[in-house]
Structure 1
Amino acid sequence: MFYFKRYSPFILLLLLFLVINALLRTVLLLHPITQSEFELVDLMKIYFWGGLSDFFVYSIGSIFLWLYLLFLSDKKYAAPTGYIVFGLLILLLAYLTFFNTILDEYGGSLPEIVIGFLSLKTICFGLLLFLPKYRKSIRLGLYSLTIFLFVLVMVQNAVSEFFFWNEFGVRYNFIAVDYLVYTNTVIGNIMESYPVVPLFLSVGIITIGITYWIVKNSLYFLDNLPKSTDKIKGTVAYTVLFVTAVTVIPMLGDKANNDNVFVNELQANGIYKFAIAFKNNELDFDTYYKTLSSKKAFALLKKAMQGTSNNSTLRMVKSEGDELKKNVVLITVESLSEEFMTEFGNQKHITPFLDSLAEKSLQFTNLYAVGNRTVRGLEAVTLCLPPSPAESVVKRKDNKNKFSTGSIFKGKGYTVKYFYGGDAYFDNMEDFFGGNGYEIIDKKSFQPQEITFQNIWGVCDEDMYRKAIQEMNQEAKQNRPFFNHIMTVSNHRPFTYPEGKIDISSKSKSRNGGVKYTDYALKQFFSMAQKQTWFKNTVFVIVADHCASSSGKTELPLEKYRIPALVYAPGFIAPKHVPTLMSQIDLMPTVMGLLNFSYESKFFGQDVFQSDYQARAFIATYQDLGLIKNNVLTILSPVKKVKQYRLIQKKNKELKPEFEIHYTEQPMQHLNKQLIEETIAYYQTTAHLLKAKKLNKTKA
C-alpha cells in the first residue's frame, strides 16, 4: 500500500523512532547509574520486547502524522470547494476569537493555543489556495516544517529521557508528570543545571540533518500524492494497526516483570510510561493490591498499635510527666542522604557541622524515609502515616483539615508556621499547609533586600534562615511557644549557592557542593539562633526529606531510603545514639514524647521510646509499598503482587554496624505470611481511613 512504501514519511519516521529508542536503551544500559549486570537473556528481552513496544507506541502516537498525510491533496483547492473551505475556516476563527465558546470554559491557555493553531492553518490554506503557481514550493516548505517538528519531538524526548534517567535511574514516572505541571520551575532548573545553549544547538543541528534526509527520501510521496483508493486502504490498515497497538501495549507492559528493576525500565518505552503515570496519579489500594478482610486488617493494626479500637487509629497517648511547652523547630533538609555524613563512611567531609552536631544530639541512626520525593517527607513528618500508592496526600484534593503535627501544637497554644525558600505553590505545599492551619512564609514574603542569592528553586538557605530568625524573634515577643517547620532548598540541582562560602565553587554545580553549602548554612543558622533569647527553650529537630538518589538494582534499595535525624536541645536532651529501627513517621511522635505531651492521636507514627513500640519502617515508591521488619523487606506491588527479601547487612570493618547502610536483598523463596499480612494491614488501613476521612482533625 502507498502509505507503507519505503518512501513514505510514515515508514521513514517509524524507522527513525525505532533507531533512536534502540540507541537510547544502549546509552542508558551503559550509564553509570545503571548499577547492574545483565545476562544475555536480559539483553534479548530489553531489545526485543522494547523494540516491539516502541513499534506499537509509534503506531498510536503517529495518529496526528497520519491525519496530516491523509489530508494532503490538490482536489480540496479546486473551485468551488477550496473557497468554501477557506470561508468556513475564517468563520470558525472569527467565532472562536470574538465569542464565548466551550474553550473559554476550560480557561487557561487552551483558547489561545487553539486560536493560534487555527490562524496558522487558515493562513497556510489561503496561501495554497490563492497562489497555485507556488503551491508545490509552499507545500514542500510546510511538509518540511511538519517533518521537522515530528523529528524534534523524537530527538528531544530521547534527550529528556537521558537526563531523567541521569537524575532518577528510571524511565518517566509520576515525577515527570509533576515536571510537566510545574513547567516554569523545571525549565528554569534545566537552564541553570546544564549547558543548554550547546545542548539545544546540537539537538537543532541533528534534527535539521535528519529532517533533510527524510524529506529528500520521501519526495516521491509528496510529488505523487495518494489517490482516494489508496487513502481508504491505508486508513483501514492503520485503524487495524492502531487498535492492535492499544490492545497489545498493556500486554507488553506485563512482560516487564523481571526481578532486576533495570531490565524492566530499559525494556519499557518512556512515552508509554509517561502516559500511564499521567493517567494513574491515584491507585485504589483494594483494586491494585493484595488485601485482607477489613476486620482482619484492623485487628492486625490493633495488635501492632496498642490502644486503637473501632476500626481506627484513634487512641490516647498519655505522659506521666508535666508537659514542657518548649519551642520546636523542625528542619527538613532537601535530599540529605545518611551516606553524606562522615560517620556513615563518607571520606569527603562535606557535612562538618552536622557531624559535630550529631555528637551533641539525640541521633537516630537507623531511620528510613518513607519515599523519594519532598512531598513524601513532608507528609511523613506532618501527618505521620505510611505512604499511599500513587500521589502523596500533600498533592491530593482531599488534603485539608487533617490530623497533623501542626494541629497538635496548635491545640496546645503554639503558633504554627511553615517556611519555604521557594514558591510554596510548587508541589501543592501552599494548599496543603495552608489548609492544615499553618501560616506560610515563602519567597513571596521576602523583601528584595532580604535576598542575597536565589536560583530557580528559591532563595538560598542562609536567606531563609535569616528570615526564620526574624520571625521567631517576633513570635517570642508574644509569650507563646512556637512550632516552626523549615524546608530547605539549596541541596538541589542545579546546586548553585553564594560564592565564597565554602571551598567548592558554585560554578561546579556539584552535589558535593550543594551538600556542603547546606551544611554551612545550617551552621550559620545555629550561630544566629544561639544569640537569641528563645534558644535555650527550643528543641531543634533536623531530618532529611529523602535521599539524594532513589535508583538501585531492586525495587526498594534500602541505602536509598536511610536518612539522618537529630534532636538537638542542649541542657534538655542528652546526646545519645538510638540504633532502633524506625520510620520517618515516628520522628515527631517521639519528639512529642520527649516533651511529655498527652494527646488524642490518630497517627500511625509512634514514640519509639515507649515499651510497646514494635521496630519497623515503611519505604515506598509511587507503586511499590514496603515494610522493613525482622530483617525482612516485604513489598506490595500493583496487580496484587507480593515479594519478600531477606536483609543481610554488608560488613565494613571501618564502620560500626549501626552506621552500615548497605544490605544485600536476597529474594525469599518461602514467604513469611505473618509479615505479608502485617504489611497489607498497615497500607490497607491507611488507604481506608484516608478515603473515609477518619484521619481528619479531631473536633474540639
Structure 2
Amino acid sequence: MFKGLLFFIRYFLFWLLFFFIDRLIFLLINSKKIAAVPFSATVATFYHALPLDLSMTAYIVVVPLLSYVYWLLSGRKIIELKWLSVYNKVLIVLFSIISVVNFNIYREWGSKINAKAVGFAISTPNEALASSASSPIALTISMLALLVVLGFIIQQWIVQRKLTFEAVSIWLRLLVVPVLFAGTFLLVRGGLGGSPINQSMAYFSKEQVLNHAAVNTEWNLLRSVLAARKASSNPYLYFSRQQAEKYVKDLYTPAKDSTIHVLKTDRPNVVLFIIESFTADLTKTLGNEEGITPNFDTLINKGVLFSKIYSSGSRTDKGLMATLAGFPTLAAGSVVKWPDKLQKLPGLSQPLFKNGYNTAFFYGGESEFDNYKAFILSHNYQKLVDRNDFKIKGKSPWGQFDEDVFKRQLSDLNKEKQPFFSTTLTLTNHEPYVLPGRPRFGSDDNKAKFKSTAYYTDSCINAFLNTARKQAWYKNTLFVFIADHGHVLPKDRVDVFVPERYHVPLLFYGDVIKEEFRGKKFTNVGSQADVAATVLAQLNIPATEFIWSKNLLNPYTKPFAFFSWDNGMGFMNNKQCVTFDNVGKMVLYNSNPKDKDEATHVLNAAKAYLQTVYQQFIEL
C-alpha cells in the first residue's frame, strides 16, 4: 500500500517541478520588471504558488487516480503504466504551448492567458496569427522546446512506469479509496476553508509581476474558461446595490444642465475616426514625442482638444463599445461575447439615423471579428464596408491598409446625401506593425515599427483631409478623432495599472467649429465613453439612453474617468487617480497617497462603478 502512495507522491512531485520550471522561465523573461525587487521576494513567488500548483496537479491526477482505484480493487499485483507516459507527454506538450503563448500575451496585454485569448484564437485564427506575428519567434520556439524536452526528461526520471500492489485485505483497500478521493478533492478545492481556492490565494506582493508569476498558468486558464460561461452573477460586489447605485447616480448628476456649443450648426456631417492604438504618448502635444504624429499635432492647434481623456480598456472591442455605445468595460469580461446583450446597448448611430443622418461604417479588417458586425448591423448603420468589399486585397495581415480604407470612404462620402455620420476603425497601427512602404523609424524592434505605423496612419489622416477640403461637404463637417485604446509603446509603459497607459487624445476638428474655439483645450478628466453624449449635445439631440456617457462640454459635469483590465480597475478625477486589483484586493497605484480621504472616495467610486455596470450587463 505504501508503494502505491509513493506513486502519487512522485507523480505530484513531477508536476510541481514542471510548474516550477515554467514559473522560472516566466520570471526570467520578465526579469527587467523585477530588477529592483529583492531576491527574497522573487524566491517567495515559488512558495506562494504551491496552493494553485497543487490544485492544478490534483485536476491532472484525476485520470491516473481512477485507473489506480480500478487496479487496486481488481486484485492485480503488477500494472504496466505505459499509457501514463503517453498521457503525461500529451499534457506536457499542451501545457508547454499554453506557457509560451502566455509569455507573449503577458508581454502585450499585461495579463495571463485567459478565455478571451483562447476565444480570440478559435473564432478568428487569422487575426490571432497576425497579432502574434510581432512576438519573438526564436525565443518562443526555444522556450517551447526547452519546456517539452525538460518535461520529458524529468518525467522519465521521476514518474513510475510500473505499479506494484502489496497483498492487503479488501477492507483496507476499500478504506484507502475514499481517502484518496477526499484528498484529491481537498487539493482541487484548496483545503477545508470557507472559500474555495482562487487566484488571490497566490497574491502576496505589491509587485504585480510576482503575483502573476505565482498564479498557475493552466489553473488560471481553466478557471477563466469556466467563469466565461457565467454571466448570471456579479463578481464585483463591494456595496449594497442601493449604495453602489447612489455613488454612480451622484457621478452623473451635474449641478446644472448646460452645454458650451462649439459648432456653427447643430446639423453638421459627423465623421468619426477610431484610431488603432493611437495613444496620447505618440503625440508631441500630449506625449512630448517628436515627429511621430506631426499632422495630428497641427490639427490640435486648429481644433478642440480634450487633453485628459482615458480609454475604457486596453483592447479594441472595449474601446469600440465605449466610443459607440457609451458602455464602460467589465474588467475581466467583455460585452461583445454576448451578441444578445450587445444588441440591447444603445449606439451613437441610432439617434443620428433617427434624426435624418445617413450612416456608414468602414473597416479594413474582418467585421465579424469580436462581433463587431453584430453590433454595427443592429444599430442602424445603413452601410458596412470591410475587407471583403475591396476588389484588390491588401497585403496587411489584418486586411486593407488605412490609405485604402480612407480612399474608399472618401469615394463613398462624395456620393452620400447630407447630413451623414461616417465611422472608420483603422488597423494598420496594430501589431505586427506592417506597412505598405518604407518605415519612417526603421524596423529594428517593435517600438520602431510601432512608431512607423503610427506615422503612416497620421499621414493617411492628413491625405484624407487634404482631399476632403476640396469637396462641397467639407465645410459642414465635424471630424472627431479618438483612439480605441492606449498602448505600452512607445514609452514602454509595461504596467497595465498606470493611468498613462490609458491616456488617449480626443479631438474635434473642422471648419464647422466656431473660430473662437479653434485651438481651445479642455482639461477636465473624461472618458472615451463620453464621446456619445458630448457629440449628441452639440447636435441638440437627447442622449438619455447613454446612461454611462456624460457631456464633456457641460461645464457643470463632474470630471472623472473609469478604466479597467482583467480583474483590475482604475478611477480618476481632477484631483487623484487610484487603481485597484480585484483579485489581490490591493491598491496598485495612488497618484497622491498623502490625501487619504480623497483616495478612499476615489476607490469607493471605482468599486461602485464596476459593480453597477456589471449588474446592468447581467440584466441586459
Q: TM-score, normalised by structure 2?
A: 0.83
Check if 1:165 corresponds to 2:106: yes
State the Cα distance separating 1:513 from its structure 2 match: 2.7
Take 1:238 and 1:195, find their aligned partners in 2: how far apart are those partners? 44
Identity %: 20
| 2:476 maps to which of 532, 537, 557 | 537
CA contact (8 A) 1:421 1:489 kept: yes
| 2:415 maps to which of 467, 474, 477 | 474
CA contact (8 A) 1:542 1:567 kept: yes
Task: Give a deviation string over 1:500-520, Cα, whole Å, max 9, x none.
Answer: 364535997832233222223
State the Cα distance separating 1:273 from its structure 2 match: 1.9
- Specify every segment of 5 or more residues in structure 2 that has no aligned partner in the other structure, as ranges: none
SS at match of 1:280: helix
Amino acid at match of 2:378: G
CA contact (8 A) 2:264 2:513 kept: no
State the Cα distance separating 1:412 from its structure 2 match: 0.8
State the Cα distance separating 1:480 from its structure 2 match: 3.2
Check if 1:244 corresponds to 2:186: yes
State the Cα distance separating 1:51 from its structure 2 match: 3.4
SS at match of 1:492: coil
Partner of 1:42: 41
Partner of 2:538: 594
Q: Given the superposition, is the C-alpha separation of residues 170 and 144 from structure 1 closer, same or farther in structure 2, using an over 3 Å criterion?
A: same
Q: Given the superposition, is the C-alpha separation of residues 406 and 211 from structure 1 closer, same or farther in structure 2, using an over 3 Å criterion?
A: same
Check if 1:629 corresponds to 2:573: yes
Take 1:209 and 1:42, find their aligned partners in 2: how far apart are those partners? 26
Check if 1:270 corresponds to 2:217: yes
Q: Given the superposition, is the C-alpha separation of residues 68 and 187 from structure 1 closer, same or farther in structure 2, using an over 3 Å criterion?
A: farther
SS at match of 1:305: coil
Take 2:473 and 2:173, find their aligned partners in 1: how far apart are those partners? 79
Take 1:299 and 1:147, find their aligned partners in 2: how far apart are those partners? 52
State the Cα distance separating 1:559 from its structure 2 match: 0.8
Partner of 1:128: none
Check if 1:148 corresponds to 2:89: yes
| 1:564 maps to which of 500, 505, 518 | 505
Q: Please list, as runs of the form range in 1=range in 2, the aligned pairs for 1:414-433 lying within 5 A after superposition.
A: 414-433=357-376
CA contact (8 A) 2:477 2:512 kept: no
Task: Give a deviation string over 1:63-91, Cα, whole Å, max 9, x none.
Answer: 34555777899x999xxxxxxxxxxxxxx
State the Cα distance separating 1:562 from its structure 2 match: 0.7
Q: Which moved more, 1:429-438 or 1:588-597?
A: 588-597
Partner of 1:27: 28
Amino acid at match of 2:56: V
Partner of 1:496: 434
Q: Please list, as runs of the form range in 1=range in 2, the aligned pairs for 1:136-285 lying within 5 A after superposition.
A: 145-173=86-114, 175-182=116-123, 184-185=125-126, 187-189=128-130, 192-194=133-135, 196=137, 199-200=140-141, 203-204=144-145, 207-208=148-149, 210-211=151-152, 214-215=155-156, 221-222=160-161, 238-248=180-190, 250-251=196-197, 253-255=199-201, 256=203, 258-281=205-228
CA contact (8 A) 2:26 2:103 kept: no
Check if 1:55 corresponds to 2:57: no
State the Cα distance separating 1:191 from its structure 2 match: 6.0
Q: Given the superposition, is the C-alpha separation of residues 667 and 199 from structure 1 closer, same or farther in structure 2, using an over 3 Å criterion?
A: same
Q: Given the superposition, is the C-alpha separation of residues 323 and 20 from structure 1 closer, same or farther in structure 2, using an over 3 Å criterion?
A: same
Take 1:355 and 1:158, find their aligned partners in 2: how far apart are those partners? 41
Take 2:414 and 2:421, find their aligned partners in 1: how far apart are those partners? 13
CA contact (8 A) 2:562 2:571 kept: yes
Amino acid at match of 1:264: N
Q: Given the superposition, is the C-alpha separation of residues 640 and 677 from structure 1 closer, same or farther in structure 2, using an over 3 Å criterion?
A: farther
Take 2:167 and 2:479, find their aligned partners in 1: how far apart are those partners? 75
Partner of 2:548: 604
Partner of 1:460: 401
SS at match of 1:366: strand
State the Cα distance separating 1:536 from its structure 2 match: 2.2
Q: Which moved more, 1:669-678 or 1:181-190?
A: 669-678
Q: Given the superposition, is the C-alpha separation of residues 353 and 442 from structure 1 closer, same or farther in structure 2, using an over 3 Å criterion?
A: same
Take 1:47 and 1:567, find their aligned partners in 2: how far apart are those partners? 51
Q: Which moved more, 1:548-557 or 1:251-260?
A: 548-557
State the Cα distance separating 1:436 from its structure 2 match: 1.9
State the Cα distance separating 1:607 from its structure 2 match: 2.0
| 1:325 maps to which of 246, 264, 267 | 267
The number of residues matched between the two structures is 600
Q: Given the superposition, is the C-alpha separation of residues 212 and 642 from structure 1 closer, same or farther in structure 2, using an over 3 Å criterion?
A: closer
State the Cα distance separating 1:243 from its structure 2 match: 0.7
Amino acid at match of 2:452: G
CA contact (8 A) 1:20 1:155 kept: no
Q: Given the superposition, is the C-alpha separation of residues 226 and 366 from structure 1 closer, same or farther in structure 2, using an over 3 Å criterion?
A: same
Q: Given the superposition, is the C-alpha separation of residues 502 and 528 from structure 1 closer, same or farther in structure 2, using an over 3 Å criterion?
A: farther
Q: Please list, as runs of the form range in 1=range in 2, the aligned pairs for 1:372-411 lying within 5 A after superposition.
A: 372-396=314-338, 397-411=340-354
CA contact (8 A) 2:319 2:484 kept: yes
Take 1:36 and 1:442, find their aligned partners in 2: how far apart are those partners? 48
| 2:253 maps to which of 302, 305, 324 | 305
Q: Which moved more, 1:36-45 or 1:584-593?
A: 36-45
Take 2:557 and 2:225, find their aligned partners in 1: how far apart are those partners? 39
CA contact (8 A) 1:645 1:668 kept: no
Take 1:598 and 1:359, find their aligned partners in 2: how far apart are those partners? 30
Amino acid at match of 1:381: T
Q: TM-score, normalised by structure 1?
A: 0.74
Take 2:311 and 2:381, find their aligned partners in 1: how far apart are those partners? 23
Partner of 2:310: 368
Partner of 1:577: 521
Q: Given the superposition, is the C-alpha separation of residues 2 and 29 from structure 1 closer, same or farther in structure 2, using an over 3 Å criterion?
A: farther
Take 2:3 and 2:63, find their aligned partners in 1: how far apart are those partners? 18
Amino acid at match of 1:329: V
CA contact (8 A) 1:177 1:277 kept: no
State the Cα distance separating 1:608 from its structure 2 match: 1.9
Take 1:352 and 1:14, find their aligned partners in 2: how far apart are those partners? 54
Partner of 1:350: 292
Partner of 2:379: 436
| 2:236 maps to which of 282, 288, 295 | 288
State the Cα distance separating 1:644 from its structure 2 match: 9.3
Q: Given the superposition, is the C-alpha separation of residues 302 and 203 from structure 1 closer, same or farther in structure 2, using an over 3 Å criterion?
A: closer
SS at match of 1:543: strand
State the Cα distance separating 1:558 from its structure 2 match: 0.9
Amino acid at match of 1:254: S
State the Cα distance separating 1:143 from its structure 2 match: 6.1
Take 1:594 and 1:677, find their aligned partners in 2: how far apart are those partners? 32
Give the aligned CA root-mean-square deviation in angstroms: 4.1
Take 1:13 and 1:239, find their aligned partners in 2: how far apart are those partners? 20
- Specify every segment of 5 or more residues in structure 1 that has no aligned partner in the other structure, as ranges: 78-135, 309-314, 649-665, 694-700
Q: Given the superposition, is the C-alpha separation of residues 251 and 361 from structure 1 closer, same or farther in structure 2, using an over 3 Å criterion?
A: same
SS at match of 2:415: helix
Q: Given the superposition, is the C-alpha separation of residues 182 and 682 from structure 1 closer, same or farther in structure 2, using an over 3 Å criterion?
A: same
SS at match of 1:417: strand
SS at match of 2:414: helix
